[in-house]
């Protein structure tokens, strides 16, 4: 196991499109991974990071919205209410921003880094980040929210290197990269 910031896998890496496996128990190896994920998220100025983004297909993600910091293992979204649209970026798809429609409020269950069961009701940014990371564990990316025409346009631009994207300021980048 490596220490310190890990390399974030980019779009095209099969890890990002695979389903992640549940974790049996959070032990020393998982805790080491979690701490490396926090370092990686900080190094890349993200608000969230899922294990598949560092090449590990296990159901683990970390969140740091600036206000709240937590570790999520084996998450379930039990109930979702309302919806709105937020422009989201993804550390694994640099410079691409997608308007993603998600639930406003979610009721979630997971285990934390100490193997304790957690139930929570999430609203606002943290609810969006949770749903974005939950998608990563299912192998789903923000590109999957695009209509088929925009999706294939962006994918071919990414492939041939012609994608210009939007230029994010540092603050924006911190806000949206998940």
Q: Which residues bind Zn ion (CB under 5 A)?
A: 90, 178
User: Which of 91, 89, 69 has the alpha carbon at shortest distance from 16?
Assistant: 91
Nearer to Zn ion, 96 or 178 (CB): 178
CB-based contact 83:73 (threshold 8 Å): no
Nearer to Zn ion, 29 or 141 (CB): 141
In our burial notation (b when 16+ CB lie closer than 10 A, e otherwise), range 51-74 reads bbbbebbbbbbbbbbeeeebbbbb
Shortest distance in whole angstroms from residue 132 CB to Zn ion = 6
Among 30, 58, 88, 133, the active-site one is 133
CB-based contact 96:165 (threshold 8 Å): yes
Distance CA 172, CA 61 (A): 21
Nearer to Zn ion, 33 or 89 (CB): 89
Which residue has the closest beta carbon to Zn ion?
90
Distance CA 178, CA 21 (A): 20
Shortest distance in whole angstroms from residue 108 CB to Zn ion = 17
- 133 among known catalytic residues: yes
- The catalytic site residues sit at 133
């Amino acid at each position: 196991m490596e220490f310190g910031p890990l390399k974030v896998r980019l779009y095209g890496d099969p890890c990002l499109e695979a389903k992640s496996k549940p974790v049996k128990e959070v032990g020393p190896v998982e805790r080491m991974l979690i701490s490396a994920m926090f370092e990686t998220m900080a190094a890349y100025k993200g608000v969230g990071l899922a294990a598949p983004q560092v090449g590990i297909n296990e159901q683990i993600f970390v969140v740091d919205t600036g206000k709240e910091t937590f570790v999520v293992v084996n998450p379930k979204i039990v109930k979702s209410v309302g919806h709105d649209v937020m422009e989201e970026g993804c550390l694994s798809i640099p410079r691409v921003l997608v308007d993603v429609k998600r639930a406003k409020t979610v009721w979630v269950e997971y285990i934390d880094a100490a193997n304790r069961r957690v139930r929570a009701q999430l609203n606002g940014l943290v609810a969006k980040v949770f749903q974005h990371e939950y998608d990563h564990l299912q192998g789903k990316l923000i590109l999957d929210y695009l209509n088929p025409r925009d999706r294939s346009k962006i994918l071919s631009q990414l492939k041939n290197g012609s994608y210009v994207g939007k230029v994010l300021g540092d603050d924006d980048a911190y806000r949206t990269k998940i």
